[in-house]
Amino acid sequence: MIAIITGDIKDSRMVPAEKWMGLLKAELGIWGKTGEDWDIYRGDSFQLKLQDPADLLQVAISMKARIKSIAPLDIRMGIGLGDENFRSKRLLENNGTAYIHSGEAFENLSKSNQALLIKSPFDVFDQEINLMLKLALTVMDEWTENSARTVYLVMKHPEKTQRELGEMEGISQHAISARLTRARFDAISALLDYFPRKLEMYLS
């Protein structure tokens, strides 16, 4: 089983592409080769393949934090879990249930009034995780630029202390702590810890 993330940048026309395109490519580039493992199309839409579906929520929330650090940008993502039964040298030409599920999840974003949805072969799993995401998004959608950037730094540098993160940003440890509190990062971390364990129950 693989995971496919189909997404786009919300309000991309309000910010020059040179301010966010490099960041988006850098995030996608962590997970493989352009064209083969990820691609950007129609200017502000993208698709990413993850070989390990347990990583998908970590990747999605990290990308959201990265993009939201540039106001007023945000990101929408439909995530599909499933198989890949046709593979070519171009990701956008591949096919399988993971791609179909991702497209269906993305198409349902507006109807669900939710910026992040998951669709898998497991209906009960989807219902539970999407409800959790809906609740988490009430917080994440309200992240300020500073909160989003701090969440991103914590997720990218889990080995660093708050004091070290503060030194990277030129602010105090107390300021880092306050930003994470406002971002409700404790609750987001709990969801990130729970997701792969819950998924494993369905995959085993």
Q: Which domains does the chain have, with CATH numbers?
A: 2-203 (3.30.70.270)
What DSSP string runs through 122-181? Answer: -HHHHHHHHHHHHHHHHHHTT--HHHHHHHHHHHH-TTS-HHHHHHHHTS-HHHHHHHHH
Token pair listed for 132: 């959790």
Report residue 142: phi and psi, to 5°.
-100, 5
Q: What does the pLDDT read at residue 25?
A: 95
Q: What does the pLDDT read at residue 204?
A: 78
Residue bearing the bigger pLDDT, 69 or 203:
69
Q: What does the pLDDT read at residue 88?
A: 78
**Cα Rg, the chain, nearest whole Å:** 17
Helix %, strand %, coil % for the chain, to 5?
55, 15, 25
Q: What does the pLDDT read at residue 19?
A: 94
What is the per-residue pLDDT across 130-165, written as a single tens digit (0 to 9) for each?
Answer: 999 999 999 999 999 999 999 999 999 999 999 999
End-to-end Cα, the chain, rounded Å: 12
Question: How many DSSP H helices and E strands does the chain contain?
Answer: 9, 5
Token pair listed for 122: 């497991």
pLDDT at 74 over 80: yes
Q: What does the pLDDT read at residue 128?
A: 96
The dihedral sign for the CA sequence 150, 152, 153, 158: positive
pLDDT at 203 over 90: no
